[in-house]
Chains A and B, each alone.
Chain A
Amino acid sequence: MSKIIKYVLHDIFRNRILLAYVILLSISSFGLFMMNEDVSKGLSSLLTVLLIVVPLVSILFTTIYFFNSYEFIELLVAQPLKRKDILLGVYAGVSVSLLAAFLLGIGLPVIMFENSAVGWQFIISGSLLTLGFVSLAFLSSVITRDKTRGIGIAMLLWFYFTLIFDGVVLMVLFAFTDYPLEKFTIFLSCLNPVDLARIMVLLKMDISALLGYTGAVFNQFFGSSLGIVLSITVMVLWIVVPILFAVRIFNKKNL
């Protein structure tokens, strides 16, 4: 498997899109930090990038990369290599590259301007978010043979997690305002890694106005540290579960 990772990394590191992603992230992080007098304001603006751009690029880049490497994967399947090792090898290669891009483009500037618990929390949730969306991308890639459909599913997932989900939550909460919904809201946030990432950062930043309804409840119900432990655990599940499903599907897939 380590050999497969090596060849995937060799391939990706010469990819121009990845380089463009690093540059885009760097420009927005340095730009936001330098434009705002207050570092925490810069960080909260950068949070939007973290919650929208990072998931989008992670899921799209991975899906497109997977379908572009289809030949490579086919070639490997005819060799005496386990399918599980092939898929996890490609997964590890893509994850490492996108994670490196994120750490370089956002992690580095954040540490330079805000080397604190908030900054580190920011980086950890971004990293988990990256890995989670790479995982989801693999799932959407293996369930179809068609590149266009695969990218469509990936886009739909991104739309769902960043836009549609919030609307649905609000609708549910609005419809059942008469009932005690605290526990239920916490459960709802666990269904969305983007929501979790937001809560994780904001619990540390202490800007309750930005927390949203679910975050406010989260804060109240758990207190900061327990909330963060719980959300990290659930985010890790968002990484592990989709890729495990992807491996299961890939094992039975006809190439």
Chain B
Amino acid sequence: MIQIERLEKRYGKFQVLRGVNLSFDLNQVVALVGPNASGKTTLIKCLLGMVIPDGGSIKFAGNDIEGDVTYKRKIGYMPQIGRYPDNMRMGYLFEMMKDLGRTRTEGQFDLELVEAFKLGEMFRKPMRALSGGTRQKVSAALAFLFNPDVIILDEPTAGLDPLASEILKQKIRKAKVAGKLVLVTSHIMSEVEEIAEKIAYIVEGEALFYKSIAEIKTETGASKLSQALFHLLQ
């Protein structure tokens, strides 16, 4: 579904991505893992066309995404920090997003998360009055709203309460069963182990390895993913 080839990005002197090669297929959950500032978020933003890469290519369903926006109809994105217009009421935000994306799903919206997070009760509140966790819930609900083939979640459970993160994890599993591709970044290895089957480990703008979790575990003989990664990186 997504092929990334020799992707490069630099901000001034700082080279964030140094030739990343990765490819993701439908029907899987892939975790992007790596230290802080390793380039995970930049990689995701390149996928979404929010950051323009300096070199390399990204293909979505076989087509180069450069200069194209239509491919984004098939992507749902939950940013690391969901920032929304301060004065907009939550209900209005959802109406606006539905209105702007009307052609994406022929009026069929996935409101499961809106209901599970009980967001409807807060529809009258302006976005600035919401707590960080509630904003995360809004971001998550928006990512799934259009029932997209590809769902990209940037640290989805950071700031969510235990119940909410369980709801979200269940939603991710459900999406996988429905044959979608879910890309997740996370620093919580137990969580990655729960939801993902493959890991792309990114360090200093390069994909160090890209393996299934089962493979990593048998290679290292460790029972927990966090220990296995620790062995692998030593």
Q: List residues of chain A with CB under 8 Å of any chain B CB.
A: 3-4, 7, 11, 14, 68-72, 74-83, 252-255
Interchain Cβ contacts within 8 Å, total number: 56
Residue in B72, B79, B100 whose Cβ sees the most chain A Cβ within 10 Å = B100
B50 near A82 with CB under 8 A, answer no
A78:B72 contact, CB within 8 angstroms: yes
Cβ of B131 within 8 Å of any chain A Cβ, yes or no, is no
Number of interface residues of B (CB under 8 A): 26
A75-B175 Cα distance, complex, nearest whole Å: 23
State the CA gap A2–B48 with chains docked (Å).
Answer: 23
- Select which of A11, A70, A74, A80 is within 8 A of B70 by beta carbon: A80
Q: Are B69 and A78 in contact, with the CB atoms below 8 A?
A: no
Asked whether A255 and B45 contact (CB < 8 A) given A79-B101, A80-B70, the answer is: yes
Q: How far is the CA of A70 from the CA of B85 in the complex (A)?
A: 8
**In contact, A252 and B85 (Cβ under 8 angstroms):** no
Sorted nearest first, the 5 A-B pairs with minimum C-beta distance are A71-B83, A80-B72, A254-B51, A80-B73, A255-B50
Residues 7 to 56 of chain B near chain A (Cβ within 8 Å): 11, 45, 48-52
Query: Which residues of B lie under 8 Å from residue A78 when comparing CB positions?
Result: 48, 50, 72, 77, 79
Q: Mark B76-111, 1 if CB is under 8 A from A, else 0.
A: 010100011111100000001101110010000000
Q: List 14 A-B contacts (CB under 8 A).
A: A11-B85, A14-B87, A68-B86, A71-B84, A75-B84, A77-B49, A80-B73, A80-B104, A81-B69, A81-B100, A254-B11, A254-B45, A254-B51, A255-B45
Q: A72-B84, A77-B50, A78-B48 are in contact. List 15 more A-B contacts (CB 8 A).
A: A11-B87, A11-B88, A14-B87, A68-B86, A72-B85, A74-B50, A75-B83, A75-B84, A77-B48, A81-B69, A81-B100, A254-B50, A254-B51, A255-B50, A255-B51
Smallest CB gap from B9: residue in A: A254
Q: In the complex, what residue of chain B is closest to A85 when comparing beta carbons?
A: B69
Do B69 and A80 touch (CB < 8 A)? yes
Report the minimum CB–CB distance from A97 to chain B (whole Å): 15
Give every chain A residue within 8 A of B49 (Cβ-Cβ).
77
Max chain B Cβ within 10 angstroms of own Cβ: one of A3, A78, A81: A78
Nearest CB in chain A to that of B143: its residue? A78
Query: Main secondary structure on chain A at its contact with chain B?
Result: helix
Given contacts A82-B69, A254-B50, contact A74 B100 (CB under 8 A): no
Q: Which of A79, A81, A253 neighbours the largest number of chain B CB atoms within 10 Å of its CB?
A: A79
What is the CA–CA distance of A73 and B96 in the complex, to the nearest angstrom?
13
Residues of B within 8 A of A7 (CB): 96
Contacts of A83 in B (CB 8 A): 69
Residue of B nearest to A255 (CB): B50
* Distance A76 CA – B70 CA, assembled complex (angstroms): 13
Chain B residues, Cβ within 8 Å of A69:
85
Nearest A residue to B83 via CB reads: A71
Contacts of B48 in A (CB 8 A): 77-78
Contacting residues, chain A, for B88 (C-beta < 8 A): 11
How far is the CB of B76 from the nearest CB of chain A, in Å?
Answer: 9
Cβ A71 vs Cβ B100 within 8 A? no
**Given A81-B69, A252-B52, A254-B52, residue A3 in contact with residue B83 (CB < 8 A):** no
Contact status of A74 and B104, CB under 8 A, knowing A3-B99, A79-B72, A80-B70: no
CA distance A78 to B51 in the complex (A): 10
Q: Which residues of B contact A14 (CB under 8 A)?
A: 87
Of residues 133 through 162 on chain B, the ones whose CB sits less than 8 Å from some CB of chain A are none
Contacts of A253 in B (CB 8 A): 52
Assembled-state Cα–Cα distance A82/B67 (Å): 9
Q: How distant is the Cα of A7 from the Cα of B85 in the complex, in angstroms? A: 11
In the bound complex, residues from chain A placing their C-beta under 8 Å from that of B86 are 68, 71
